[in-house]
């Protein structure tokens, strides 16, 4: 069995790779930093004795390459049983407001690139009638906020896309899972000042692995974010726009 991890150099992706390698799956690590992906693959081979390889992958550079990547992974490691879309890009909100090219990059990485590679993976899984696609979305996609609405809207669109993909593939025996992440200890939350606990990538990876195994369709991690977002979504718009969120 093979797991393909896209955006494989992030802390969450590396933790997920550890969990699946420990379970005995072959691991394909796809990232822009090919050397780092290859180094991480070598580490997995040594520590877990599984097949692991690094592959070059860019979410937004040449979408037609995404189908080629899927073919290359399957040729090297066998059919992809699980695919994890782990990449994301927060960007700088003010810079995005000042320069649409920067906003476009946030949108294309978090949404267009994710959709492109999900479609490429879905084609091969549908042809076999088996597989599991995991998309890492964000609680930022639950409600538009002045402080990060480019990132939040792209993640919100990704959440909706995964919901549609899940409904489309339900009859094809392909599982699609949406993970709505709250604060995780990654470079994206570095120096974030918040009274809300920040979860470790290792615990997030364990939760993702267990949920995928149970066929869960969507969940918040950490789980208390479901309650937090329930409150945030219930705030009337005229009140919400006066909050510093």
H or E element that contains 133 = strand 131-138
**Alpha-carbon span 122 to 132, nearest angstrom:** 9
Band of residue 164 on the pLDDT scale cut at 50, 70, 90: very high
Whole-model pTM: value is 0.93
pLDDT at 39 over 70: yes
Band of residue 61 on the pLDDT scale cut at 50, 70, 90: confident
Give the sign of the dihedral formed by CA 108, CA 160, CA 204, CA 78: negative
Q: How many CA atoms lie within 13 A of 125 on its CB side?
A: 30
Mean pLDDT of 17-28: 98
Mean pLDDT of 14-31: 97
pLDDT at 140 over 90: yes
Q: DSSP letter at 108?
A: I
pLDDT at 34 over 90: yes
- The better pLDDT of the pair 187, 45 is held by 45
Phi, psi (rounded to 5 degrees) for 135: -115, 125
Of 60, 61, 80, 63, nearest to 122 (Cα)?
80
pLDDT at 162 over 80: yes
- Exposure letters 121-150 (e unless 16+ CB within 10 A, then b): bbebbbeeeebbbbbbbbbbbbbebeebbb
Residue the block writes with tokens 């802390």: 11
**Alpha-carbon span 48 to 52, nearest angstrom:** 10
What percent of the chain is modeled with pLDDT above 90?
88
- Helix, strand, or coil (residue 5): strand
Q: What is the pLDDT of residue 190?
A: 58
Q: In what order do the strands lie in the sheet with 174-181?
A: 52-56, 26-31, 2-6, 80-85, 131-138, 174-181, 218-221
Cα dihedral 201/61/156/14 (nearest 10):
-10
Q: What is the pLDDT of residue 241?
A: 86
First to last CA, the chain: 43
Band of residue 62 on the pLDDT scale cut at 50, 70, 90: confident
**Alpha-carbon span 107 to 127, nearest angstrom:** 30
Mean pLDDT of 235-240: 92
Phi, psi (rounded to 5 degrees) for 184: -120, 145
Mean pLDDT of 31-51: 97
Q: What is the pLDDT of residue 183?
A: 86
pLDDT at 68 over 70: yes
Phi, psi (rounded to 5 degrees) for 123: -60, -45
């Amino acid at each position: 069995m093979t797991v393909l991890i896209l955006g494989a150099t992030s802390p969450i992706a590396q933790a997920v790779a550890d969990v699946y390698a420990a379970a005995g799956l072959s691991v394909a690590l796809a990232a822009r930093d090919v050397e780092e992906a290859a180094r991480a693959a070598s580490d997995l081979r040594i520590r877990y004795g599984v097949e692991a390889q690094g592959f070059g992958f860019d979410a937004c550079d040449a979408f037609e390459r995404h189908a080629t990547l899927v073919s290359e992974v399957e040729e090297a490691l066998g059919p992809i049983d699980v695919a994890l879309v782990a990449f994301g890009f927060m960007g700088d909100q003010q810079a995005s407001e000042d320069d649409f090219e920067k906003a476009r990059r946030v949108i294309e990485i978090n949404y267009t690139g994710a959709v492109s590679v999900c479609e490429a993976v879905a084609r091969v899984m549908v042809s076999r009638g088996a597989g599991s696609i995991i998309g890492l979305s964000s609680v930022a996609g639950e409600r538009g906020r002045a402080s990060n609405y480019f990132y939040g809207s792209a993640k919100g669109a990704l959440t909706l896309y995964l919901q549609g993909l899940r409904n489309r593939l339900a009859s094809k025996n392909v599982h699609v899972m949406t993970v709505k992440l709250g604060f995780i200890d990654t470079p994206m939350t570095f120096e974030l000042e918040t009274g809300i606990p920040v979860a470790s990538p290792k615990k997030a990876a364990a939760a993702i692995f267990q949920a995928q195994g149970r066929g869960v369709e969507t969940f918040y991690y950490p789980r208390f974010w479901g309650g937090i977002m329930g409150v945030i979504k219930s705030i009337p718009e005229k009140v919400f726009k006066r909050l510093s969120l």
